[in-house]
């Protein structure tokens, strides 16, 4: 067993996206159906198991952890996990502990997250129009998310906005999103919709290639490519008129798998070395089968060596999703 995690293509694994729940208080049209059935709570890893798993991976070289969902702030007593993992920030073993959230509960949690060592959060925001927000999320309240963003900034957290590119929506929203984000010192990342899980709409009608959107943006904004990196898959451009950054995540039109340093673990303890992986590796059995981490580390090593060179997603009109697993299981 190597001390540090390296896959079969020589890529060092430094970044863990750790899901704590598949539940969400929104039902975004690109993510799930309105009648989605969530996992029974007893199948989820406990906070003690999540901490043990994360700590084992930190011991193997992971230095960035993003807590995801579903909506992670829905998990009861979630601050326990952040507070526990903060010891690795204090020791220097963990460089960053962060999360992705829809922002609906961020106003309540922002001060305590900052106290636990979180310095940066990603907030999903696809529109600034209240009616369109309610339509996309099926019943969400834009005001609550905006209040969460304001509270996070007031608590000293750096906020980045994530927007899923949706045909017929984002073309109309993009100028306002840029002005809103950059006017408040926030970066904005655009993400192509992905064929994960069953929806009650045709993804081909939603899909907007970011190359097309960028050409639309260039009619108003001057985009200058930069080498900024945050550890994720985004490639960035600076907007000359605002000074702010725009990130582009293009899993459909142009993936960046050659430099992938990420793994994902579901709330039930399945390790996925690629967002396009189907089955994942069961770490829950290893966690519960022995108090020693030897079995856990062996299971992790086997999974890492199977990490594929890349994924190959395709959206087909009226077609089945590339994977049955919905986005809310791993948080993207």
Q: What is the mean pLDDT of residues 142-163?
A: 98
**Per the annotation, does 262 bind a ligand?**
yes
What pLDDT, on a 0 to 100 scale, did the predictor assign at position 253?
53
**Per the annotation, does 100 bind a ligand?**
yes
| Residues linked to residue 99 through DSSP beta bridges, in sequence order | 67, 121
Say whether pLDDT at 254 is over 70.
Answer: no
What pLDDT, on a 0 to 100 scale, did the predictor assign at position 242?
98
Q: Identify the residue whose tokens are 């142009």.
A: 254
| pLDDT tens per residue, range 46-56 | 999 999 999 99
* pLDDT level of residue 39 (50, 70, 90 thresholds): confident
| pLDDT tens per residue, range 90-138 | 999 999 999 999 999 999 999 999 999 999 999 999 999 999 999 999 9
How is residue 189 written in tokens?
A: 């990342």
**How far is it, in rounded angstroms, from Cα 246 to Cα 223?**
8
**Per the annotation, does 214 bind a ligand?**
no
How is residue 158 written in tokens?
A: 């750096």
| pLDDT tens per residue, range 81-91 | 999 999 999 99
What pLDDT, on a 0 to 100 scale, did the predictor assign at position 230?
64
**Per the annotation, does 103 bind a ligand?**
no
**Per the annotation, does 17 bind a ligand?**
yes
Say whether pLDDT at 204 is over 50.
Answer: yes
**Per the annotation, does 186 bind a ligand?**
no
Provide the edge-to-edge strand list for the sheet that holds 64-68. Answer: 223-226, 235-239, 245-249, 187-192, 158-165, 120-124, 96-101, 64-68, 15-19, 262-265, 270-272, 281-282
Burial class of residue 168 in the structure, from the number of CB atoms within 10 Å of its CB (0-12 exposed, 13-18 middle, 19+ buried) = exposed
Ramachandran angles phi, psi of 57, nearest 5° = -70, -35
| pLDDT tens per residue, range 205-251 | 778 899 999 999 999 999 999 987 766 678 999 999 999 999 998 86
**Per the annotation, does 260 bind a ligand?**
yes
Q: What is the mean pLDDT of residues 155-172?
A: 95
**How far is it, in rounded angstroms, from Cα 197 to Cα 320?**
9
- Domains in the chain, start-ordered, CATH in brackets? 15-326 (3.20.20.70)
**Per the annotation, does 31 bind a ligand?**
yes
Helices (H), 28-68: 47-58
Answer whether the bond into residue 70 is a cis peptide, omega within 30°: yes
| More confident of the two residues 329 and 207 | 207
What pLDDT, on a 0 to 100 scale, did the predictor assign at position 53?
98
**How far is it, in rounded angstroms, from Cα 331 to Cα 295?**
27
What pLDDT, on a 0 to 100 scale, did the predictor assign at position 100?
97
**Per the annotation, does 30 bind a ligand?**
yes
Three-class SS of 212-270? HHHHHHCCCCCEEEECCCCCCCCEEEEECCCCCEEEEECCCCCCCHHHCCEEEECCCCE
Say whether pLDDT at 318 is over 70.
Answer: no
What pLDDT, on a 0 to 100 scale, did the predictor assign at position 31?
81
Say whether pLDDT at 311 is over 80.
Answer: no
Burial call 177-188: b when 16+ CB within 10 Å, e when fewer = bbbbbbeeebbb
DSSP state of 33: -
Share of the chain above pLDDT 70, in %: 86
DSSP state of 194: -
Q: What is the pTM of this model?
A: 0.90
């Amino acid at each position: 067993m190597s001390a540090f995690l390296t896959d079969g293509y020589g890529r060092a694994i430094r970044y863990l996206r750790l899901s704590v729940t598949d539940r969400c208080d929104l039902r975004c049209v690109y993510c799930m159906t309105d009648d989605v059935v969530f996992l029974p709570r007893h199948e989820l890893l406990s906070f003690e198991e999540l901490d043990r798993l994360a700590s084992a991976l930190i011991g193997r070289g992971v230095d960035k952890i993003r807590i995801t969902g579903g909506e992670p702030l829905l998990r009861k007593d979630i601050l326990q996990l952040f507070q526990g993992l903060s010891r690795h920030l204090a020791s220097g073993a963990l460089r960053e502990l962060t999360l992705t959230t829809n922002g609906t509960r961020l106003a309540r949690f922002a001060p305590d997250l900052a106290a636990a060592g979180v310095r940066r959060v990603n907030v999903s925001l696809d529109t600034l129009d209240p009616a369109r927000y309610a339509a996309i999320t099926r019943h969400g309240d834009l005001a609550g998310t905006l209040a969460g963003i304001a509270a996070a900034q007031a608590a000293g957290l750096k906020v980045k906005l994530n927007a899923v590119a949706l045909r017929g929506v984002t073309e109309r929203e993009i100028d306002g999103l840029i002005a809103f984000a950059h006017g408040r010192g926030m970066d904005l990342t655009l993400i192509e919709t992905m064929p994960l899980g069953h929806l009650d709409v045709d993804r081909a009608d939603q899909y907007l290639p970011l190359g097309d959107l960028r050409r639309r943006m260039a009619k108003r904004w001057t985009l200058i490519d930069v080498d900024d990196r945050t550890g994720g898959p985004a490639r960035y451009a600076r907007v000359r008129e605002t000074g702010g950054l725009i990130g582009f995540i293009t899993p459909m039109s142009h993936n960046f798998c050659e430099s992938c340093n990420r793994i994902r673990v579901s709330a039930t303890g399945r390790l996925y070395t690629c967002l396009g992986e189907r089955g994942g590796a069961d770490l829950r059995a290893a966690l519960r089968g022995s108090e020693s981490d030897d079995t856990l580390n062996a299971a992790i090593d086997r999974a890492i060596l199977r990490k594929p060179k890349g994924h190959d997603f395709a959206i087909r009109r009226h077609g089945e999703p590339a994977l049955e697993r919905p986005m809310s299981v791993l948080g993207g």
